[in-house]
């Protein structure tokens, strides 16, 4: 059975969420879901994720997995909301424990919450781990660099790469968050580029550079030939130099603090308040 992929674009955060399924009436997974969120009012909404649920219901799909490619810093995950509404197990890369350690301290979340299984995640994937849903099988590639927990889900010739590579005209992901590392990102993208040339790459964001129409699917061959930051023959040193220079110029993402404190808990919202740490300018 061939994997069927359906993309959903969350305009406010330029994020792509994906539903992958085997057949109508069969089994599905959701990758990188999004809650609507207004930073100015603190209000959270489910309109976008309700669209995912509507698709699942329309196609009579059982949701087996709710997967994250990493703890995102630019949107709030809807994983816990989806699980409450339609079930499914929430999965993320094992590297999440490092991200939880760093940001748990920053947000004064007791570490016990992470180790006691109350962090909302049902499964932490090892590198190369195999998982299945319905008649489909996928495997996990640890692809750290943007964050230490970043993974790529490879399913039937499709690679869901999170924030490692973007569309060829937008390049690659920043590596300046805690646990980020340009050398690791190079190695991870090299790993993705080692997949068969025809592998379809599905990106987690598209910022529509130059005002072009939305695009979110490329291939390994296209990326190797045309990615503006990292092509087949780009050297590791050149990439690291470029990436580090570039990252110095980037702004802190608008939703960094609300996102990370929710996403290290699988999209569970704080009881009353979002926290923003006080820093010197």
- Binding region for Fe ion (CB under 5 A): 72, 163
151-155, strands of its sheet edge to edge: 130-133, 136-142, 151-155, 158-160, 200-202, 217-219
> Minimum distance from CB of 72 to Fe ion (Å)?
5
Which residues, other chains included, contact 20 with Cβ-Cβ below 8 Å and sequence gap of 6+? 3, 4, 5, 6, 28, 29, 31, 133, 136, 155, 158, 160
> Minimum distance from CB of 183 to Fe ion (Å)?
18
Question: Which CB sits closer to Fe ion, 68 or 163?
Answer: 163
Question: Which CB sits closer to Fe ion, 63 or 203?
Answer: 203
DSSP letters of 161-180?
A: --SSB--TTT-B----STT-
Cα separations (Å) of 260 from 40, 72, 254? 17, 6, 12
49: helix, coil or strand?
Answer: helix
Question: Which CB sits closer to Fe ion, 22 or 149?
Answer: 149
Rounded CA separation 126/94 (Å): 6
Residue with tokens 């910022």: 207
Question: Which CB sits closer to Fe ion, 221 or 256?
Answer: 256
> Minimum distance from CB of 153 to Fe ion (Å)?
15
> Minimum distance from CB of 257 to Fe ion (Å)?
14
Q: Which residue has its beta carbon closest to Fe ion?
A: 163
> Minimum distance from CB of 91 to Fe ion (Å)?
17
Question: Which CB sits closer to Fe ion, 82 or 161?
Answer: 161
Question: Which CB sits closer to Fe ion, 64 or 163?
Answer: 163
> Minimum distance from CB of 173 to Fe ion (Å)?
6
Cα separations (Å) of 175 from 53, 71, 94, 148? 33, 14, 19, 10
> 22 with 134: CB under 8 angstroms?
yes
């Amino acid at each position: 059975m061939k994997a069927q992929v359906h993309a959903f674009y969350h305009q406010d955060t330029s994020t792509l969420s994906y539903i992958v399924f085997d057949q109508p009436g069969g089994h599905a997974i959701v990758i990188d879901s999004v809650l609507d969120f207004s930073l100015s009012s603190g209000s959270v909404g489910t309109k976008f994720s309700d669209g995912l649920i509507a698709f699942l219901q329309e196609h009579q799909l059982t949701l087996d997995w709710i997967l994250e490619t990493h703890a995102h810093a630019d949107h709030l995950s809807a994983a816990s909301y989806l699980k409450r509404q339609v079930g499914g197990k929430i999965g993320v890369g094992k590297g999440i424990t490092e991200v939880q350690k760093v940001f748990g301290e920053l947000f004064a979340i007791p570490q016990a919450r992470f180790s006691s299984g109350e962090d909302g995640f049902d499964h932490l994937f090892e590198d190369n781990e195999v998982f299945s849903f319905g008649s489909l099988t996928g495997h996990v590639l640890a692809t750290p660099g943007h964050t230490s927990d970043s993974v790529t889900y490879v399913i039937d010739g499709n690679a869901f790469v999170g924030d490692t590579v973007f569309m060829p005209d937008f390049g690659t992901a920043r590596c300046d968050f805690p646990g980020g590392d340009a050398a690791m990102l190079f190695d991870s993208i090299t790993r993705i580029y080692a997949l068969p040339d025809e592998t379809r790459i599905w990106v987690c964001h598209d910022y529509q550079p130059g005002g072009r129409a939305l695009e979110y699917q490329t291939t390994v061959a296209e990326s190797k030939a045309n990615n503006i930051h990292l092509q087949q023959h780009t050297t590791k040193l050149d990439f690291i130099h470029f990436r580090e220079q570039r990252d110095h110029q980037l702004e802190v993402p608008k939703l960094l603090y609300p996102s990370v404190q929710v996403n290290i808990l699988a999209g569970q919202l704080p009881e009353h308040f979002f926290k923003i740490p006080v820093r010197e300018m």
